[in-house]
Amino acid sequence: MINEISKLNKKIFEAGIEQKPTRDGYGQGLVVAGEKDKNVVVLCADLTESTRSHWFKEKFPERFFEMGVAEQNMATVAAGLGISGKIPFISSYAVFSPGRNWEQIRTTIAYNDSNVKICGAHAGVSVGPDGATHQAVEDIATMRAMPNMKVFVPCDAIEAKKATVAAAQIWGPVYMRFAREKTPIMTTEETPFTPGKAYEMWNPPTGGKKPQAVIIGAGPVLYNALQAAKELEEEGIGTIVLNNHTIKPIDEKKIIELAKKCGAIVSVEEHNIVGGLGGAIAEVLAKNFPVPMEFIGMQDCFGESGAPDELIKKYGMGAEDIVKAAKKAIKRK
Amino acid sequence: MDILHEKKIKFLEMTANQIRQDIVNMLVEAGSGHSAGPLGMADIFTALYFHILNYNPKEPNWPGRDRLILSNGHICPAQYATLARAGYFHIEELKTLRKLGSRLQGHPRRGALPGVETTSGPLGSGLSQAAGMALAAKLDDKKHRIYCLMSDGEQDAGNTWEAAMFIGKNRLNNITAIIDRNNIQIDGFTEDVMPLESLKEKYEAFRWHVLEIDGHNIEAIVDACNEAKAIFEKPTLIIAHTIPGKGVSFMEQDYLWHGIPPNKEQAKAALVELRTLGGQIKSEHE
């Protein structure tokens, strides 16, 4: 059942649940961050409306910079701003930033320790009809492997807003991943968001059976994880769903605690299973407490054109896939 | 700023010579690194640090300082030697270049050494960082200037032109960029590797004010930097024609000296040539 402490949306399993894209949360978060701190500046590479940077632009035109289709320049100009006391947010699609400008981010932002926040929008296959050129499935891996970089993957628009505001307040480089499509609002304003602290969205009813597996997810696919947990509960299999919104630094303590408690893990992400959230969890387990683990995500392949729900289904990231993976992991104990 | 009189020019020329000797000493001690670029840029570094820039080596992070962004980080021996001579740290530390635990990294790292403003090495990213700093200065209504030193080889990089376009668009007149036009890069002469000319017309088309100078003439370097300050409607680019390996005859104009250090014997010969001003001073016997 829904973990009370997480204060999730009470209508979470209702058909008419409110839906919004996480990029909306980014746009709203930028405005809040801009109000709180006059040093917040926003740069965008010809995708101002798409990334929802236009809300900031309308409110603070003097602190908004249009960079044109030039992501390498955007990252490096931001690096210069960031070491001059500004808090720049750079906005584009994840395939371009941190895709095309990876080395610039590495040298001039991460190694340079410049206070830049990177927004990768339209990440994952749920971009849909645009096809694989625009579906980033490697961004978590490439950003996670970079020293001095933090990585947030918010699950809905509300969490995205909180992550954006938090990013402005934390010193140093941060990568944030957002999606194009509307997705269910799972959390509320009251849901806790502490960078680096994963929290349980779902756990077995009190007094019920011990959880047999933990499903650890990040991003909007957590909704599928919750649906899977509900289905499993109906079948008498208790699980925990952990919202691991901060992929780096990862909440090692929580993951080890739950691995010990449940003995089986399923990772869920709209990203390649190589190097992403699953990889990060596996690193923690291998070092501390290995348990059977299954990986839900892109199985080391590119996506294609299609409707978002069709793609999620085709590439094995639906609730039914998570149910199967959980059973498999439990069986392997 | 002081007036540039005869005596000051002499002092600057001698300082540049001293910095060239430091560079040779550092490179031979390190056993790796780049020779041609640093020697070629010694006069420009000297003119900037000993006549043009506003800074305080005792307070390297003073907010009012002019910023010098070294985009082509591989010529950092010239910057390190100049910073040491300018009082940022002790000359002795130059010997630690490229060694384990040294603040003098093979390519510069911001925060590692006082006076180093940005991390650099991968080419083509300095001009845009200068743009970011110039934008920040405009937003905060600060009057310091941003100087960006680039190589000609990195004019191959798309990132450089993205920056040039952005700076032109935003009329960042607080930027003075200087290209070390020495015509060489690792694989050969720049015009063979990837033709760049006409650099002047290209930057002008990108809305820059462009000057061309002899990059070894102290007076010309100072004049150009002063003119740049007086141009209000545009950023300024100074194309400084230099001789790679300048001051050491067997290195001059030879692209094979781009990325290697002198061995002990070569270093000795180089130092004799520098100390005797190319054989003009006869009293030194080595």
* Domain positions in chain B: 6-275
Domain A19-184 has CATH 3.40.50.300: no
Which positions in chain B touch A111 (Cβ < 8 Å)?
109, 119
User: What residue of A is the nearest CA neighbor of B119?
Assistant: A112
Query: What DSSP designation does B260 have?
Result: -
Does the beta-carbon distance from A112 to B118 stay under 8 Å? yes
Tokens of B42: 């010694």
Return the closest-CA partner of residue A87 out of A168, A151, A184, A4: A168
How far does the CA of residue A71 sit from the closest CA of chain B (Å)? Answer: 9
Tokens of A282: 């596996």
Name which of A77, A81, A96 to mutate to probe chain B: the one with the most chain B Cβ atoms within 10 A of its Cβ. Answer: A77
A contacts of B175 (beta carbons < 8 Å): none
- The DSSP line for A231-249 is HHHHTT--EEEEE--EEES
| N- to C-terminal Cα separation, chain A | 24
CATH 3.40.50.920 residue window(s) in chain A = 4-15+191-331
User: How do the residues of chain B divide into helix, strand and coil, expressed in percent and rounded to 5?
Assistant: 45, 10, 45
CB A329 within 8 A of CB A214: no
The distance of B19 to chain A (nearest Cα, Å) reads 27
CATH 2.40.30.10 fits domain B6-275: no
Interatomic CA distance for residues A99 and A156, integer angstroms: 23
Distance from C-alpha of B133 to C-alpha of A108, rounded to nearest angstrom: 13
Tokens of B177: 């960029």
B281 touches chain A (CB under 8 A): no
SS3 A16: coil
The tens place of each residue's pLDDT in chain A, 333 residues long, gives 899 999 999 999 999 999 999 999 999 999 999 999 999 999 999 999 999 999 999 999 999 999 999 999 999 999 999 999 999 999 999 999 999 999 999 999 999 999 999 999 999 999 999 999 999 999 999 999 999 999 999 999 999 999 999 999 999 999 999 999 999 999 999 999 999 999 999 998 877 778 999 999 999 999 999 999 999 999 999 999 999 999 999 999 999 999 999 999 999 999 999 999 999 999 999 999 999 999 999 999 999 999 999 999 999 999 999 999 999 999 999
- Fold for A4-15+191-331, please state it: Rossmann fold (3.40.50)
Locate all alpha helices (DSSP H) within A83-138, ordered by sequence.
102-104
Query: What's the pTM value of the predicted model, to 2 decimals?
Result: 0.95
Six token digits for residue A25: 């949360």
Active site residues of A: 71
Q: For residues B214 and A120, give the distance between their C-alpha atoms in angstroms, rounded to a whole number.
A: 45
Burial class of B282 by CB neighbour count within 10 A (0 to 12, 13 to 18, 19+): exposed
- Cross-chain CB nearest to B128 (options A80, A83, A111): A80
How far is Cα B269 from Cα A321, in angstroms, rounded to an integer?
A: 73
- The predicted complex's ipTM stands at 0.94
Residues 147-176 on B with a CB inside 8 Å of A are: 158-159, 162-163, 165-166, 170
- Among residues A138, A216, A226, the alpha carbon closest in space to that of A177 is found at A138
DSSP string, B129-192: HHHHHHHHHHHTT----EEEEEESGGGGSHHHHHHHHHHHHTT-TTEEEEEEE--EETTEEHHH
Residues B241, B70, B233: CA angle, nearest 5 degrees: 70
Q: Which residues of A228-255 are buried (b: 16+ CB within 10 A; e: fewer)?
A: bbbbbbeeebbbbbbbbbbbbebbbebb
| A5, HSE (Cβ side, Cα atoms, 13 Å) | 9
